[in-house]
Structure 1
Amino acid sequence: MRKNKLYILIAIAFCFIGFSCSETKPIGFPPVNKNVTPEAKQLLEFLYSIQGKYTLTGQHNFVSNMERYDSIVHNITGKYPVVWGSDFSFMAQGDNINQFQHCGPMNLTVPYDSCIFNNRSISDLRQSLIDEAKKKYAEGRIITLMWHCCFPTNGDECNGDDIWRWAKNLPSAEEWDQLVTNGTALNIAWKNQMDGVAKYLKQLQDCKIPVLWRPYHEMNGVWFWWCNKSGENGFKKLWIMTYDYLTNHHKLNNLLWVWNTNAPRDIEGDEAGPYKDYFPGTDYVDILAADVYRQDYKQSHHDDLLTLGEGKLISLGEIGQLPTVEQYELQPSWSWFMTWGYFINRNYDLVREIYNHQQSITLDEIDFSNNEYKLIPQLNTN
């Protein structure tokens, strides 16, 4: 009898010194921001819980019409995607605005409609983005936001050529050094630009809405002004500076940081370099993502990202045409895919196949009771 009592006391002692009798081991990696909100932490844990088993469906919608492409998905499949994406974007200026309509500048009509100005203000457009994100979150959607941003000296209004610089017109080494050096005029302009978006992200934080935040996407390409800056003093420095400013200065703790590359490719004048040359390290990245266009779903695009992240989550931050069923099944670790706007119209049969695939999760398969993401009971068996 005494021996049994002794065993009980030892078990109780283990519980008190930290080996909890009721707690289970956390799933996956913790968020890189130790002060992350409970909602963002739960979202990350949910994504880890489906890692390698399921892929969430997702769709990008442009600021000027934030319902259009979700509606098209529903018309094709009878279902809605889980991940809802949009863009803080920019106000297009100049005589060549039609060249940049494809990315959805917020002051223009939706791409491939007649290219005309919508005569709405920056504040109106961005506030409508936040209001729509709130509605989508209430439906159980997962919110992902990005930003096609002008070069900092131009704030939020610029000719598209200011964003799409291409290799021959990227910032010089001197300009880049000024950008990432605290207190320079260019760095102050960058901070002012960041402040303009931070106030909207704070609204989502105040409403306890987590965000899959993917700034400066496709940095390993040669097109945007932030592209093609490899090495320790290149893009890595800009990423860490951005993380520090939004996390430590603005106290934005509802963000999960999605480092979003382009799938590497060797197309003359349109290259995208190796992932590793632009990676800021696992201390600053919650999720690693790749953008895949031209239906170029090489196995290395999936596997190399998994290796670089050392077990962290990976996703398809943007895609053009969906993968074939064979490609999809060979790459099961993508946490979500997000079709870029109008590309959902490219192949309706394939859209139906992927949305109805057993690997895919659509909104009707999400249980969002108590504002926590879970799979509906019949799927959540593992």
Structure 2
Amino acid sequence: MRNLLFMVCCILLATCCSKKEITQEQIAPELASSVPFNGAVEIANGIQKIELIFNQSIKIANASAIKLNDKSVEKVDVSVNTVIITVMLQPATQYELLILKEAISNTNNATLKADIRILFSTKKIVAHASELITPNSSPEVQKLFQFLKETYGQKVISGTMANVSWNIEEADWVHAQTGKYPALNCFDFIHHIYSPADWINYENTEVVEKWWRNNGIVSAMWHWCVPKDMKVSNPTEFAFYTKDTSFDISKINDPNSPEYKLMIKDIDIISGYLKLLQNKNIPVIWRPLHEAAGNTNSYVGGTGWFWWGAKGPEPCKTLWKLMFERMTNYHKLNNLIWVWTSQGNDFDWYPGDAYVDLVGRDLYPETNIHDSQLTEFNKVKTIVAGKKMIALSECGGIPDPGLMFEKGDTWLWFMPWYGDFTRDNKQNGAAYWKTVMNNVNVITRDQMPSLK
């Protein structure tokens, strides 16, 4: 009898254990669906959310065990039965999302039965602007623009700013420190009111010609100086900051006003200088009226710090369009690629797709100056609905090129301002420039193709 009871107890115990094992298997979380699904193609790039939907409530047991292309993801959230992974996806890329079985568990701490693998690929780079806005653009402009399109998202072009006006002093300094020239140099027509003079003469294009002959990209901007006081008949004092001049851009709507006539006169002068470069078959990345919005949309009481933004977006957009029409149709300039500079919150200042080839953003962070600037990049991207390529048209510290391509703020080019912003160790300096110019993601002048 005892033997019989012992056998019954053993059977009952075995049955209980078996049921317990089955119960543990049954409660292990199982993936019900995912977005994107395994094998998906043509997934949008940029910041995206991957969603994994399970058959029960779950939690993250080990976030480091969630990997995208062998790298642990940085941002993982859970909502009841859904894991939400925020990632930056690069265009034209094959991805494998690997969820190791110890990564996820249910509320009873039961983990996955097996690893989960989800394969997907992203869309190719969109042709952000398949055509230039200038009709019958010169062959050199077309070649340069094609090069920019092929580069965007794949590499970043290195750049320097002229030391105030019409030179390559900062580019020479970078070369002396690193053995390499930046691929782009930006010039400034800031002194047009004095040219020609023995110290500044924009009619002498030799420095620009030499840069172009050496396969450098030519860019130009214009700190547009106007009389401080328009009531003075023969002014000797000029300024471009709003606080320093009474110049009224709203007169752009009054062709009989002295302000309108001066704006036309100055546009014609600059067009003449740009025409000299066109006659030399030199394309120019042209960035006028930069940072127009200033702080207008940043806080109550904000203003446009340059006179061209002092009266709000509408006069400034009118001036932009007038400049484009006069340079393109009246002066027949076809060697320009037009760059509008955004403040990241100024959609209402955008002249429109028909008047802009590229978009720039000027950034001077005071902390973490070499970090990724993805947030600002995406702000500008939103303003132009992803239709235009985006450049870091001015900066203090150059963002780490490695972080650019890791995080996704793949600027078309970077260009620190001159002086201390280029040379001082607190911003960039010789050692950091060496690191940047030797980064595999950075294009230097020696790597540039001939676009002639």
1:300 matched to 2:375? The reply is: yes
The structure richer in helix per residue is 1
Partner of 1:78: 179
- Pairs within 5 Å for 1:171-250: 175-221=248-294, 222-231=304-313, 233-250=314-331
* Structure 2 spans left out of the alignment, 5+ residues: 1-125, 295-303
1:132 matched to 2:207? The reply is: yes
Distance 1:123 1:250 in 2: 27
* Structure 1 spans left out of the alignment, 5+ residues: 1-24, 93-105, 108-119, 265-273, 373-382
Q: 1:345 aligns with which of 423, 436, 448?
A: 423
Distance 2:342 2:374 in 1: 16
Q: 1:335 aligns with which of 407, 412, 417?
A: 412
1:55 matched to 2:153? The reply is: no
Partner of 2:436: 354
Superposition deviation, residue 258 in structure 1: 0.6
User: Larger RCO: Structure 1 or Structure 2 (Cα < 8 Å, ≥ 6 residues apart)?
Assistant: 1
CA deviation profile, 1:80-104 (whole Å, cap 9, x unmatched): 1000111011279xxxxxxxxxxxx
Q: Tell me, what secondary structure is at the counterpart of 1:46?
A: helix
Superposition deviation, residue 126 in structure 1: 1.3
Contact 2:321 2:355 in 1 (8 A): yes
CA deviation profile, 1:211-251 (whole Å, cap 9, x unmatched): 000011111113211124444x2321111111111111111
Give the direction of change, closer, same or farther, for the CA distance of 1:91–1:208 in structure 2 (3 Å limit): closer
Distance 1:299 1:170 in 2: 37
Contact 1:81 1:362 in 2 (8 A): yes
Q: Tell me, what secondary structure is at the counterpart of 1:126?
A: coil
TM-score normalised per structure 1:
0.72
Superposition deviation, residue 301 in structure 1: 1.3
1:148 matched to 2:223? The reply is: yes
Partner of 2:51: none
Contact 1:56 1:362 in 2 (8 A): yes
Partner of 1:102: none
What is the number of residues matched between the two proteins?
304
CA deviation profile, 1:153-206 (whole Å, cap 9, x unmatched): 59997545x31124x9765xxx33322433433211111111111111101111
CA RMSD in angstroms comes to 2.9
User: Match for 2:169: what amino acid?
Assistant: R
Contact 1:178 1:184 in 2 (8 A): yes
User: Match for 2:449: what amino acid?
Assistant: D
1:311 matched to 2:387? The reply is: yes
User: Match for 1:145: what amino acid?
Assistant: A
Contact 1:321 1:346 in 2 (8 A): no
User: Match for 2:317: what amino acid?
Assistant: K
Contact 1:318 1:340 in 2 (8 A): yes
Partner of 2:112: none
Give the direction of change, closer, same or farther, for the CA distance of 1:65–1:86 in structure 2 (3 Å limit): closer
User: Match for 2:179: what amino acid?
Assistant: G
Structure of higher CA gyration radius? 2
